[in-house]
Structure 1
Amino acid sequence: MPGWRERYVTVQGRRVFVRLGPDVPGTTPLVHVHGFAVSGTYLMPTAAALAHRATSLVPDLPGYGRSHGWGHVLGISSLAWALLETLDALGLARATLIGNSMGAPVCLEVAHSAPDRVAGIVLASPAGGVHNQPLVRALGQLARDAWRESPAMVRVVVPDYLRFGPMNALQLFSELMRFPSLERVLRTPVPTLAVLGSRDPLMPPLQRVREVGRLAPPQVTIAVIDGAAHAMNFSHPGELAHLIGCWLDGRDITDDPDQPGLTQVLRLDIGD
């Protein structure tokens, strides 16, 4: 994309690939964290839509995309550690993390382990927890979601899935489904925006989301994008970027005026 650069940094002797947007001086960087078994390529529509607000970075976590692996599949905690090491290698003392799917638990782990390094986190379709258990149920949810995503996603993610490998995918997916996302969100030490899609089968029903909203601490905001499935960073970049912009600015969350009727964003207040 115009104005974007590509770079490798070294983490524990291994090369990690990073996409870097145009420099926006005086801003807190936005770091976009990809989901399960894929690279950061599918995050680029939302990253590009936010690139004017702050310096934006889209890394491939170790073992994904164009980044070198560790010789074995890294779990959620290890990926969080590797993300922190990547921020160090890039010279980023503090950042706002924007994670999709598995990227959301990774961001949560970073926020809990190093809250001083995190200005805030955005959890787009945060996977993991009771709603995704047992594994056979989660696999069924994933299969239903595949039919709800944009057809253009196929050419973007299929090469990543094949490169990652089915055995690695099954091993990591099983760990991801057991990750206590809800508990981590309810105890988040940093400002947090959780964004769910109304057509995402991996997310709990709206009634359950409202229950979580009542339990959440004041620094947590929960919103729903009507019509979005799991990979909203790819399918609904304009709406998601607008929503994130409202949250970053401390403004009321509204529908995107530039795309009226495309989606509707619902703010779920704590006492709702």
Structure 2
Amino acid sequence: MTLKTRQLSEPFGRLCFRSAGSEGSDPLVMLHGVGMQSAAWEPQIDALSQKYTVYALDLPGHGESDPIAAGSQLPEFVDWFLAALDALNLDRVNLVGHSMGALIAGGFAVRYPNRVHRVALLNGVFRRDDQARNSVIARAKLIGAGDFDLETPLQRWFGDSPAERTARDKVAAWLAAVDIDGYATAYGAFAQGDAVYADRFDQITCPLLALTGADDPNSTPEMARAMAATANGQAVVVDNHRHMVNLTDPDTVNAALFQWLKTPTQERSPAHD
């Protein structure tokens, strides 16, 4: 599957993305995590494009997409995504995000509810405790200073099963290829982004899925359940998997996404007044 490009409105530059599926079917847009690229969605593109038109985007400064301004925070990434949808001529979409992509997707669902049919947040973070927040902010500062440690995230994200070793090799290659400045900007926004829209999740009225791995130490099952409860959505926890569950257990993730995509989209009342 070849990369395609679109020119975004100022100041966002070029968007690169992968797409597959039948034109005219329901659009499904996928946003990857920090250090990854649109190819990380390959198992989902292969399965979901059988029924939907799938667009997997390279985040700013990742893959072949142009970088966003240094120091940009989560609201600027949400602005970038709005520009991406407009450039793709997509009005209302089904939206899936992983990790940093989940932060963007959740923020977009809060700010632009009329552009989202459904939202799925995979391995998302939500209201970190003080210890976790201080730890991730410290890592962001190291990355911003040019200290890029490839091995540490791999150790957090993967176990030692054959499926995880295979996925780890792919992820290691993507991390090794990432632009360090784009990575640093995205990681800085990721570190600060878990609470930006959290207090407005009760305003999300479209069907929401929050999915994570039972053994993910940073995007925890408790976070997934809290997101789902706040937005009156559904939480799915995949046993024996960690942060890259879409690669290590794609069958379970794809089944959950297909089920989520069947959820009726009539507006529901927010979880809280």
> Into which bin does the TM-score normalised by the smaller protein fall?
0.7 to 0.9
Report the counterpart of residue 23 of structure 1 in structure 2: 22
Alpha-carbon contact 2:35-2:175 (below 8 Å) kept: no
Q: Which runs of 5+ in 1 are unaligned?
A: 252-269
Report the counterpart of residue 219 of structure 2 in structure 1: 203
Deviation of residue 33 (structure 1)? 0.5
Deviation of residue 121 (structure 1)? 0.3
Deviates more, 1:109-118 or 1:63-72: 63-72
Q: Is residue 2:233 matched to residue 1:235?
A: no
Deviation of residue 79 (structure 1)? 0.9
Report the counterpart of residue 157 of structure 2 in structure 1: 146
Aligned-partner Cα distance in 2 for 1:204–1:154: 20
Alpha-carbon contact 1:142-1:201 (below 8 Å) kept: no
Aligned-partner Cα distance in 1 for 2:185–2:14: 20
Report the counterpart of residue 3 of structure 2 in structure 1: 6
Q: Is residue 2:204 matched to residue 1:188?
A: yes
Alpha-carbon contact 1:129-1:181 (below 8 Å) kept: no
User: Could you say what secondary structure the match of 1:52 adopts?
Assistant: coil
CA RMSD of aligned residues (A): 2.9
Report the counterpart of residue 73 of structure 2 in structure 1: 75
Q: Give me the TM-score of the superposition, normalised by structure 1.
A: 0.77
Aligned-partner Cα distance in 2 for 1:175–1:237: 29
Aligned-partner Cα distance in 2 for 1:70–1:209: 28
Change (3 A) 1:47 1:181: farther
Q: Which of 73, 81, 84 is the equivalent residue of 2:82?
A: 84
Deviation of residue 191 (structure 1)? 1.3
Alpha-carbon contact 1:28-1:94 (below 8 Å) kept: no
Deviation of residue 63 (structure 1)? 2.0
Deviation of residue 48 (structure 1)? 1.9
User: Could you say what secondary structure the match of 1:133 adopts?
Assistant: helix
Report the counterpart of residue 55 of structure 2 in structure 1: 57
Change (3 A) 1:74 1:53: farther
User: Could you say what secondary structure the match of 1:151 adopts?
Assistant: helix
Deviation of residue 145 (structure 1)? 1.7
Deviation of residue 237 (structure 1)? 1.8
Matched residues, number: 243
Report the counterpart of residue 222 of structure 1 in structure 2: 235
Deviation of residue 127 (structure 1)? 1.9
**CA distances 1:211-263 after superposition (whole Å, capped 9, x unpaired):** 666x4454x11111112211122222221111111122249xxxxxxxxxxxx
Aligned-partner Cα distance in 1 for 2:245–2:81: 22
Aligned-partner Cα distance in 1 for 2:79–2:179: 25
| AA of the residue aligned to 2:15 | V
Change (3 A) 1:162 1:7: closer
Q: Which runs of 5+ in 2 are unaligned?
A: 140-151, 265-270
Q: Give me the TM-score of the superposition, normalised by structure 2.
A: 0.77
Change (3 A) 1:133 1:32: same
Aligned-partner Cα distance in 1 for 2:73–2:42: 24
Matches within 5 A, 1:153-172: 153-164=170-181, 167-168=184-185, 171-172=188-189
Report the counterpart of residue 109 of structure 2 in structure 1: 111
Asked which structure has the greater RCO (Cα within 8 Å, sep 6+), the reply is 2
Query: Percent identical across equivalent pairs?
Result: 23
Deviation of residue 85 (structure 1)? 0.9
Alpha-carbon contact 1:121-1:191 (below 8 Å) kept: yes
Aligned-partner Cα distance in 2 for 1:112–1:173: 17
Aligned-partner Cα distance in 2 for 1:22–1:29: 9
| AA of the residue aligned to 2:254 | A
Deviation of residue 64 (structure 1)? 1.8
